[in-house]
Amino acid sequence: MRINMSNWRRYLYFIIGVIFGLEWSNIFRPSLRSRLIYALIRVLHKQNVPDEIEKQRGYLDKLQQLVPPPLKLEAHPVNANGVPCEWVLPSEEISTQVVFYLHGGAYVTRMPVLHRNFLHHMAQSSQAQFLMVDYRLAPEFPFPAALADAITAYEWLLEQGWQTDQILFAGDSAGGGLTMATLLALRDLGKPLPAGVILISPWTDLAGTGESLISLKDEDVLLDWNNLQECAADYAAGESLSHPWVSPLYADFHGLPDTLIVVGGNEILMDDSTRLAVRMAEDGVEVEMKIEPYMGHVYPALGPANPEAQRALNLIADFIRKC
């Protein structure tokens, strides 16, 4: 019996076409693209992250070098009263809104190439411009160095003529926690606050009391609490891990601006977001929270090619525009 290979090819192409059609119509939960990305991360990333901070920094530097040259955006550095920062701008318009951004990295590392691309996607979606703050890192510069840099850079932004109703704060991971700490410090010091806040997978409890640290340990392909615990100790440097300017989860939130929280449903820091949202709402803050099932830490950074990330970028852009 002869097999008609042309028919088999037609069937194969048809099946592939159906699968791609369903994927692009967002039928799959999670998307096939997310499944592939997280499978690769599980194999290639988590088991290879070194424990020592200097080796972690070298690992992340090598990771950034893998970004193809066409995707490496030009930096636009600026000195904000001694604090190095850089502008990330939308390509089409000069916005009347600015997002004051504090990057993640567990308070001990930075990834400017990757964050620059992420912020560019958000700038394109929202048509706002972003100011990314290159705050000092632990263990060389422990708490409150990063907080002091954030406050200095924000005061510089106000000196440039930006009004508080044009400014939003945002941050991811440790940068999300630092964003909250900066807001709390500004409020306590009687300084003017921005119009809104965006937190992406914020790390708000350095004491590590969230149930998701245990319940989602096997699902999280990016984070490891043992490593984060060491970073927390390096950052706090003897200060109480429940100090509200170290772990904002333990703060009083009265008087803070409207806040959007975006977090993945498969990350060990999920409870840092869910508990924060509840406590902020109890203190009278208007809070909107999006938990994306199956997604990992700072999943919007996966970019527009990922459907879950694109939905998050759209949500963030809508929030920026309405503030």
211 and 267 share a domain?
yes
| DSSP single-letter state for residue 258 | E
Residues 6+ apart with CB under 8 A from 236: 142, 143, 206, 243, 246
Options 95, 126, 173, 212, the catalytic residue: 173
In a domain, 3, yes or no: no
| Contact assessment for residue 308 and residue 34, using Cβ atoms and an 8 Å cutoff | yes
For residue 27, the model assigns a pLDDT of 62
28 and 148 share a domain?
no
pLDDT bucket at 46, cuts 50 / 70 / 90: low
Q: For residue 229, count other CB atoms closer than 10 A to its CB.
A: 15
14 and 108 share a domain?
no
In a domain, 78, yes or no: yes
267 given a catalytic annotation = yes
38 and 166 share a domain?
no
Stretch (H or E) spanning 231: helix 225-236
In a domain, 148, yes or no: yes
| Contact assessment for residue 131 and residue 153, using Cβ atoms and an 8 Å cutoff | yes
165 and 200 share a domain?
yes
If you average pLDDT over residues 200-206, what whole number do you get?
98
Check residues 320 and 72 and name the one with the higher pLDDT: 320
297 given a catalytic annotation = yes
In a domain, 106, yes or no: yes
121 given a catalytic annotation = no
CATH number of the structural domain spanning residue 286: 3.40.50.1820
Threshold 0.75, pTM exceeds: yes
34 and 127 share a domain?
no
CA distance 267 to 277: 16
35 and 76 share a domain?
no
36 and 69 share a domain?
no
Options 34, 120, 297, 308, the catalytic residue: 297
250 and 192 share a domain?
yes
CA distance 94 to 199: 24
Q: Is the pLDDT of residue 2 over 60?
A: no
In a domain, 2, yes or no: no
CA 226-147-237 angle, 5° bins = 45
Identify the domain containing residue 20 by its residue range: 8-44
304 and 286 share a domain?
yes
172 and 36 share a domain?
no
Check residues 95 and 76 and name the one with the higher pLDDT: 76
Q: Is the pLDDT of residue 205 over 80?
A: yes
Buried b (16+ CB within 10 A) or exposed e, 252-273: ebeebbbbbbbbbbbbbbbbbb
Check residues 53 and 171 and name the one with the higher pLDDT: 171
Check residues 316 and 58 and name the one with the higher pLDDT: 316
Show the tokens assigned to 268. Answer: 């060990």
**Total structural domains within the chain:** 2
If you average pLDDT over residues 98-126, what whole number do you get?
95
What pLDDT digit, counting tens, does each position of 15-40 carry?
444 344 444 556 656 777 777 778 88
Options 267, 273, 292, 308, the catalytic residue: 267
133 and 37 share a domain?
no
